[in-house]
């Protein structure tokens, strides 16, 4: 189960406490990442290891909590280099 799947059903207050943004803002951020990626990737590449939601969540964790790549990579089950 992805980290986003674990927190998406929390209350708006808890969601904001965890991420620093409201759910509506988070979903808008995900939409923008998807739009950007579709424009950027005209040819196919490697499949994603993380969903777009988890990618945004990882970025918010890094910027909000100043977590190291080691700790984030451990939480998401990937290498530090892929964070």
| pLDDT of amino acid 74 | 87
The whole model's pTM is what?
0.81
| pLDDT of amino acid 37 | 84
| pLDDT of amino acid 43 | 63
| pLDDT of amino acid 30 | 96
**How many domains does the chain fold into?**
1
Q: How far is CA 32 from CA 18, 36, 37, 75, 78, in A?
A: 21, 6, 9, 24, 24
Q: How far apart are CA 61 and CA 68, in angstroms?
A: 10
| pLDDT of amino acid 12 | 92
Q: Look at the block and give the residue holding tokens 């406490």.
A: 17
- Inter-residue contact 19 to 26 (CB < 8 Å): yes
Give the domain range for residue 55. Answer: 3-82
Q: How far apart are CA 41 and CA 55, in angstroms?
A: 17
**Mean pLDDT, consecutive 10-residue segments, the chain of 83 residues?**
90 92 96 88 74 93 87 86 81
Q: Where are the alpha helices (DSSP H) in 1-51?
A: 3-7, 12-19, 23-40
| 47: helix, strand or coil | coil
| pLDDT of amino acid 46 | 76
């Amino acid at each position: 189960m992805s980290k986003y799947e674990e927190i998406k059903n929390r209350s708006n207050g808890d969601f904001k406490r965890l991420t620093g943004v409201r759910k509506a803002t988070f979903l808008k951020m995900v939409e923008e990442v998807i739009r950007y990626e579709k424009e950027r990737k005209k040819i196919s590449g490697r499949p994603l290891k993380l969903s777009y939601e988890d990618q945004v969540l990882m970025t918010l964790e890094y910027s909000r909590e100043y977590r190291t790549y080691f700790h984030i990579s451990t939480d998401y089950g990937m290498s530090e280099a892929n964070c």
